[in-house]
Amino acid sequence: MFHKEGHKIIFFTLVIVVGSFFLIDEFITNEWLRTGLMIAILIFFILILQFFRNPKRHTHADEKHALSPVDGKVVVIEEVMENEVFKDKRIQVSVFMSPINVHVTRYPISGNITYSKYHPGKYLVAWHPKASEENERTTVVVENDGFGKVLYRQIAGAMAKRIVNYAIKDSTAIQGADSGFIKFGSRVDLFLPLDAEIKVKLNQKVRGGESIIAEMK
């Protein structure tokens, strides 16, 4: 199953691959070179398919749990000042996605979407300390009675040149449901209440829509 954001890219890539195969077969006479080029093109196409995959996730909905919005590795767990929406201290948990991770973004909690905004910006590497405030990004806040308010921020990286955000203010978010997509490697920051109990550790690998990031007692 492939994400809808990749349908056009997969189709055009397939056309290019098929056309390249015909050209190589027609004009390259050296058998080793012809085979090598075809294998390289096929590997490239497989990588495109892998990047846009959208595997089914088994989300166990719980109002007191905040789930990871993406697949990747936890690279930040710290108390910070959140200056865009809350303007107070929160616990930031950041998940870094490599190009081989699933890049679907999912709602960390169910509830009402109270804020959704896109910010143009730079393309610093995703792990840069200022990436959260200076890179191209989207900020979304979801609120429910069990957990409170959770802010998550999709952040473009040096490779990611397009962020897709489906969250619409005043609409309803469903925990684990598709909320967007980031193309070609980046990170997502979660900003959680200070009294949330963090359930992950640095460098831990997490799965979007399944791994519990934090629990509200």
- Residues serving a catalytic function are 186
Token digits of residue 141: 């806040």
Report whether 28 contacts 34 (CB < 8 A): yes
Buried-exposed string 135-149: b where 16+ CB fall within 10 A, e elsewhere: bbbbbbbbbbeebbb
Cα–Cα distance for residue pair 92/53, rounded to 1 Å:
28
Cα–Cα distance for residue pair 151/72, rounded to 1 Å:
18
Half-sphere exposure of residue 105: CA atoms within 13 angstroms, side-chain side: 30
CA distances (Å), origin 51, targets 39, 54, 157, 187: 18, 9, 16, 15
In angstroms, the first-to-last Cα distance of the chain is 36
State the CB neighbour count (10 A cutoff) for residue 71. Answer: 24
State the CB neighbour count (10 A cutoff) for residue 1. Answer: 7
